[in-house]
Amino acid sequence: MAIGALAPIATHKDASVQSVSAIERWRQALAAWRIPEHVLAAAEESPWVLPRQVFVRRADRQLAEPGGASYLAACQALDPPGSVIDIGAGAGAASLPLAARCTAITAVDSDEELLAEFTARGRDAGVPCHTVLGTWPQVAGEVPPADVVVCHHVIYNVSDLEPFVAALTAHARRLVVVETAQRHPLTTLNELWLRFHGIRRPDGPTADDALAALAELGIRPHVVRWRRPKAADRVDFDTLVDITRRRLCLLARRADEVAAALTELGHGDGTATDLGASAVEVATLTWPGGAG
């Protein structure tokens, strides 16, 4: 999660608010997600780190049943077959389902173990795979252009959109495909933050805020809003409790309290999904690449 200096989100529309650019509003909205220091200091584990099995499970489910607007857009752009770059690849959920249409896939991620999971699945899929360890766009210079660049569920971690998006566009010859939740996914935890800490968390930014920021950069994507199957990121209840507890900066001994709260909110019926990373309401943003 990208964290900047804590800044308030304006809620009234006076002249000073109107003078703030959409890019700056995006930056401020993400900065407002900063966790208060006294809460963070009391945590046993980082609230920003997801268990790797969440990403691995997501990749395996996408490989077993590929689908969705982002997948279809990338498939169409890979006719004829071509190369793909996957930014924030994890274990390859965005790119490996495209293997049959790929001449090669390059995965960029800051987690070495997840890149190893990606490589193993790429080998099984029979597509040449390359990995680059690091964050985008800092490692963009190590990545040659490709026909299609995919980037799923990353932009809410990016406070400085301009260089990030510019590097996406500069590396795609045919198409950039960005998939994102229609609202910041951590908003699903807001009721629990209020319950356990008495803290009101932000209610944005949204995909529309991202679109406004992109427009200031001269990018007006084609947008498809759609619903992912709720089961796509289903986790067992014990895993949901553990992930939620970590996100809330609560000690392990409070797991039973978290379980009770989740059950009370209707998440204990065997259909649980990771509240902070899963999104049913998503948007696929596509625009032409700028590579030669």
* Whether residue 11 has pLDDT greater than 90: no
The answer to whether residue 276 sits within a structural domain is: yes
- Pairing label, strands 222-227, 129-133: unpaired
CA nearest neighbour of 237 among 264, 188, 266, 271: 271
Q: In the predicted model, what is the mean pLDDT of residues 29-55?
A: 90
Terminal C-alpha separation, the chain: 32
CA distance 273 to 286: 27
pLDDT, tens digit (0-9, with 9 covering 90-100), for 203-226:
999 999 999 999 999 999 999 999
For residue 216, CA distances in Å to 96, 172, 211 come to 32, 20, 9
The pLDDT, as a whole number, for residue 280 is: 81
> Which is more confident, 199 or 271?
199
Query: For the ranges 4-13, 97-106, 243-252, 256-265, which has the lowest average pLDDT?
Result: 4-13
Residue 268 domain flag:
yes
* 171 three-state secondary structure: coil
Residue 6 lies in a domain: no
Q: Is the peptide bond before 80 cis (omega within 30 degrees of 0)?
A: yes
Phi, psi of 28 (to 5 degrees): -65, -40
What is the per-residue pLDDT for 278? 61
- For residue 5, being part of any structural domain is answered with no
Report the predicted TM-score, pTM, of the whole model to 2 decimal places: 0.90
pLDDT at 260 over 90: yes
| Average pLDDT of the segment spanning 33-47 | 94
Query: Higher pLDDT residue, 22 or 16?
Result: 22
Q: Which domain holds residue 193?
A: 15-288
CA 35, 39, 44: angle at the middle one, nearest 5? 110
Confidence of residue 7 (pLDDT cuts 50, 70, 90): very low
More confident residue, 80 or 275: 80
Asked if residue 76 belongs to a domain, the reply is yes
Query: What pLDDT is stored for residue 286 in this prediction?
Result: 98
278 phi-psi bin (left φ>0, alpha ψ -120 to 50, beta other) = beta
What is the DSSP annotation of 7-31?
Answer: -PPP-S--HHHHTS-HHHHHHHHHH
Check residue 275 and give its pLDDT: 73
In the chain, the number of structural domains is 1
Mean pLDDT on 26-31 = 97
Tell me whether residue 77 is in a domain.
yes
Using the 8-state DSSP alphabet, how is residue 283 labeled? Answer: E
* Domain contains 217: yes
CATH number at residue 59: 3.40.50.150
For residue 10, the model assigns a pLDDT of: 38
157 compared with 7, residue with greater pLDDT: 157
- Residue 31 inside a domain? The answer is yes
